[in-house]
Amino acid sequence: MNYILVDTANTFFRSKFAIQSDLDSKIGMALHITFNSIRKVWQDFKGDHVVFCLEGRSWRKDFYEPYKRNRKNVRDARTEKEIEEDEVFWETFDNFKDFIDQKTNCTVLQNPKLEADDLIAGWVQAHPNDNHFIISTDGDFAQLIAPNVAQYNGVQEVTITHQGYFDDKGNRVKDKKTGEDRPAPNPQWLLFEKCMRGDTADNVFSAFPGVRTKGTKTRVGLTEAFEDRNSKGYSWNNMMLQRWVDHEGFEHRVIDDYTRNVTLCDLSAQPDEIKEIIKETVASAKTKAVEQVGLKLIKFCAKWDLQRIAEYPQSYAEPLNAKYKKEEVMA
């Protein structure tokens, strides 16, 4: 089976930054990019079923109090116009979400404690013998890239596979700094680097602030520690047992903060009780039997004035009409 996994809120809300225009145009662009991304991935990779993954509050906020706390500051700093724009975007998103859930045969996954990342990773883990194509701009999914897992960024129109980065025409994407073909992501390295450096977007603090990528004669760098991660020899221990003091005078040991960040960032390392919730949520997916999906899509397009999509309803409705052929999900 070829599953299309949609990071729903990410795909929809990232799209509003794609153009500088009036609110109606931004709303239309968000819906167009979302529908077009699904249709493109469906056609390019011969999809069999679409799974929409939605956000919950996230267990990470209970595990680590600073998690995404920085986003409140951004929300509080919004202008009245930006607040009004966000309200309209959320109203549209809720309407889109209801349409997908009630008027299509797509699977919709959501749990109050889980993020979409958890659900997408959980679906991949529960269907190891199938192919998965993730629609998202989120770099966190680089850790999942494998021969059977790829990612499509609908805003940049770039596909990421275990072989490299490709544009919409199938040409390799060039690295802007070197001018060479952008190399395929190394999932293990990218995850290790993130757990060490932290994630400013999610307010996950670094395990070792200021650490160098490449070491010197007197100090081990990330590269050497990463290469020594399996044997846990000198380079690994030299870095992980380092201690540092933050601006409030608290002492940290690198291994402790790194272990915390692994729990937060590694999509296979959640606490056991969270893993169980992920499994149960994925296993709850059922085969739907919605009829006349194409007609329902045309009505949705009319409501939101999506003329270009309404002109080709069959090609856009096809992925929305495909039913989930439920198999035995791995325990």
Q: How many Cα atoms sit within 13 Å of 52 on the Cβ side? A: 25
pTM (2 decimals)? 0.94
User: Hunting for tokens 């409501």 — which residue is that?
Assistant: 303
Give me the amino acid identity at 211: V
Q: What is the pLDDT of residues 203-221, one digit of tens each?
A: 999 999 999 999 998 899 9
Integer Cα distance of 152 and 137 in angstroms:
7
Alpha-carbon span 147 to 20, nearest angstrom: 37
Tell me what pLDDT residue 331 has. Answer: 46
The CATH code for residues 2-184+271-321 is 3.40.50.1010
pLDDT digits (tens, 9 = 90+) for 158-201: 999 999 999 999 999 998 889 999 999 999 999 999 999 999 99
* Long-range contacts at 264-269 (CB < 8 A, ≥ 24 apart): 264/60, 264/63, 264/64, 264/67, 264/202, 264/204, 265/140, 265/191, 265/194, 265/195, 265/199, 265/204, 266/143, 266/191, 266/195, 267/117, 267/118, 267/120, 267/121, 267/140, 267/143, 267/144, 268/121, 268/125
Sketch the domain layout of the chain as residue ranges: 2-184+271-321, 188-264
So what's the pLDDT on residue 22? 86
Per-residue pLDDT of the chain (331 residues; tens, 9 = 90+): 999 999 999 999 987 777 678 888 889 999 999 999 999 999 999 999 999 999 999 999 999 999 998 888 888 888 998 899 999 999 999 999 999 999 999 999 999 999 999 999 999 999 999 999 999 999 999 999 999 999 999 888 999 999 999 999 999 999 888 999 999 999 999 999 999 999 999 999 999 999 999 999 889 999 999 999 999 999 999 999 999 999 999 999 999 999 999 999 999 999 999 999 999 999 999 999 999 999 999 999 999 999 999 999 999 999 999 999 977 554 4
Residue with tokens 């933050």: 246
What percentage of the chain exceeds 70 in pLDDT? 98
Per-residue confidence (pLDDT) for residue 71, from 0 to 100: 86
Place of tokens 């994925």: 282
Q: Chain centroid to CA 3: how far? A: 15
Residue 324: the pLDDT is: 96
